[in-house]
Chains A and B, each alone.
Chain A
């Protein structure tokens, strides 16, 4: 891949969501259902996926940003806040970068970035 981003080993960083209390979870696919409590109001169903894997028109609730703190903060300023609904919209030819509808606007991210944004598909 052409990504300078995913290629290098970098300590993963977890950003605490608005709902608070995100724990370090090194494996992104280990959601065996109900393993994690996000606090009382949160539904705990649905599959954890990365934004890169959303098909056009699919929406998911953003859970956490596994990116260095400054990058995560910048994305949060753009609207990628944990707990926000993100919908995959159009994409460039070849599917990369992808456009995401978030907080009333549309933002394009490369897949190498979107892969580190983990979200829960709504059931």
Chain B
């Protein structure tokens, strides 16, 4: 603090609040095994003053936030990925290990460690204390879940444990907010390295476990009785008959919510964007800049925020499932099916969400710890038939296929064709997964291991913070790319200007591009108009409907009879099937590309994915055109 200049008693030092971002006096890392309530504690300590970013060059997320202490000290808290040991085997664990050993100076070197352990299973969790104490860094051992320990009749002598470990120990409940003053006191204090104590052989898990058991016993630790409710609920949720039924129920609920439940909200968002755009249009003088603002920027903002309802709903669901402990059970039930294509149970929920939209689905792959499985899931998710493909499918099917009953009143030809397209995407995903997992993404030797945490009530705070975090990430990272692409697409369709007015579509840059593309797409049975549609639909698949409407001079609506008629004039049946196949396979979605870039930490994966799906779409459409032209 700056002392007040002598001689001017009216000047007092600025109050702390006047400094928006005081430099942190210390960096403290939160370390702990999975399921110890570390993130809950992090949320409790930092509240809204937290940020999420990726560690440089990797897919692992870095959560950090600040804690302001009552003595004015500001501490930067870093939430590290959960780890069972400091023998790094996964990417997550390597990062934790590197960071606390100070091998990642470009991020930061922590001054002290908060080791978070689950007090209801102390003998097991104390194992991690050994390698951390060996680092001889200032450390506070935080025994979490004090409320559960008490409720289930367990106890521990904190003083004795502190003596044994040579480091301070506090008993807290992050969920209830109990005992946090002990953590604050530690953070306020001057950090001191722990007292040296006899440690086990760190490389030997049996030795560490034995040591941990002994330390727990010498600290009068009485383990709590097994959680009764968890056993009861598992008898139901993992029942051979009821378990799968409940699973299907949960899955249907998630699917319905993101597919239909989000629709009114998305409509509302769209309406708000359109209405505000119209409002601006009336008030601004006509010019190129007004068109850019409304047609490019405003539409771009609209296409970004329209995803928010789906993302918020999906993450509310995932938050409840994950925090309650059911997600682990769902992964267990789905595992056998997913294993058939080389994936694992945790890929199930993200892939299911991809039927609504690949963007939230790719964000949801965060729950998969295994890096290769996660990457494989990200790579196949866009093959699932997302909601944006439906307008294209509906338009083309309605234009070319008369609706006749196939199976009485239950299934008509059109519904069957739509079902076939769902199956086509699904099959492509399965085959891709199979190929990836047996070649470049072959699982490392770590087999599937899934810890089933006890069931717990999810807290509003934790889910709320997660929603806020996901929305911020989406808006900042993916949103900026989507916005840029949207402006670019506007430029393609609206430049060059003809006499101060937007050009006809066929004279625009997009039109020129469509004509340039024509020789390339002619073998697929597409002409330049479809080519323009393929270009503009890079922003989002359904945009092709509007573009074709403009090109044919019709109202752009998939149910519009005029547009169907025009399409029938313009495309052969072979070209129509080719168009469907193309949309089933191609990654015509910049939002997905932007999200994959953000989630994988670079352009490599999304570009490979875009190229691969594009080639597949081209070849698929080519074959479809040939086969159908030969048949008809």
List the interface of chain A (C-beta within 8 A of B).
Answer: 2, 4-5, 17-18, 68, 70-71, 73-79, 81-83, 89-94, 96-97, 99, 103-110, 112-113
Contacts and interface: CB of A to CB of B under 8 A. Distances in A.
Given A71-B445, A71-B447, A73-B87, A97 B127 contact: no
Contacts of B238: 90-92, 99
Interface residues of B, number: 39
A79 B33 CA distance: 13
Interface string B327-339: 0100011011001
Interface string B247-288: 000000000000000000000000000000000000000000
Contact of B449 (A75, A89, A90): A75
A93 B336 contact: yes
B203 to A, nearest CB: 9
B402 interface: no
Contacts, number: 108
B85 interface: yes
Contact of B451 (A74, A94, A106): A106
Contacts of B188: none
B124 A104 contact: yes
B240, B243, B442, B443, most chain A CB atoms within 10 A: B240
9 contacts: A75-B449, A77-B87, A78-B84, A81-B205, A81-B209, A83-B206, A89-B234, A106-B451, A107-B451
Contacts of B451: 78, 105-108
A107 B442 contact: no
Contact of B124 (A75, A79, A112): A79
A70 B446 CA distance: 8
Contact of A92 (B127, B332, B445): B332
A103 B446 contact: no
A76 B207 CA distance: 11
Contact of A104 (B223, B442, B445): B223
Nearest to A108: B450
Interface in B191-242: 205-206, 209-210, 223, 226, 234-235, 238, 240
Contacts of A91: 238
B267 to A, nearest CB: 39
Contacts of B53: none
B227 to A, nearest CB: 10
Contact of A106 (B340, B445, B447, B452): B452
Contacts of B124: 79, 103-105
B205 A110 contact: no
A68 B123 CA distance: 26
B85 A109 contact: no
Nearest to B331: A108
B447 A5 contact: yes
Contacts of B332: 92, 97, 99, 108
Contacts of B452: 99, 105-108
Given A71-B445, A76-B205, A109-B448, A90 B234 contact: yes
A96 B337 CA distance: 10
List the 4 closest pairs (A to B, CB-CB), nearest first: A90-B238, A76-B205, A18-B206, A108-B450
B87 A97 contact: no
A96 B336 contact: yes
Given A74-B89, A78-B449, A103-B124, A93 B206 contact: no
A104 B121 contact: yes
Contacts of B210: 18
B556 interface: no
A76 B206 contact: yes
B244 interface: yes
B244 A107 contact: no
A74 B446 contact: yes
Nearest to A91: B238
Contacts of B445: 68, 70-71
B449 A108 contact: yes
Contacts of B336: 92-94, 96-97
Given A73-B87, A90-B234, A103 B123 contact: yes
B546 to A, nearest CB: 45
B19 to A, nearest CB: 44
Contacts of A82: 206
Nearest to B124: A103
Given A73-B89, A79-B209, A92-B243, 12 more contacts: A2-B339, A2-B340, A4-B443, A18-B206, A68-B445, A71-B446, A79-B124, A93-B243, A105-B124, A107-B449, A108-B332, A109-B449
A76 B124 CA distance: 11
B333 A92 contact: yes
Contacts of B342: 4
Given A92-B335, A94-B336, A97-B336, A77 B450 contact: no
Contact of A4 (B243, B442, B449): B442
Contacts of A109: 447-449
Contacts of A71: 445-447
Contacts of A107: 449-452
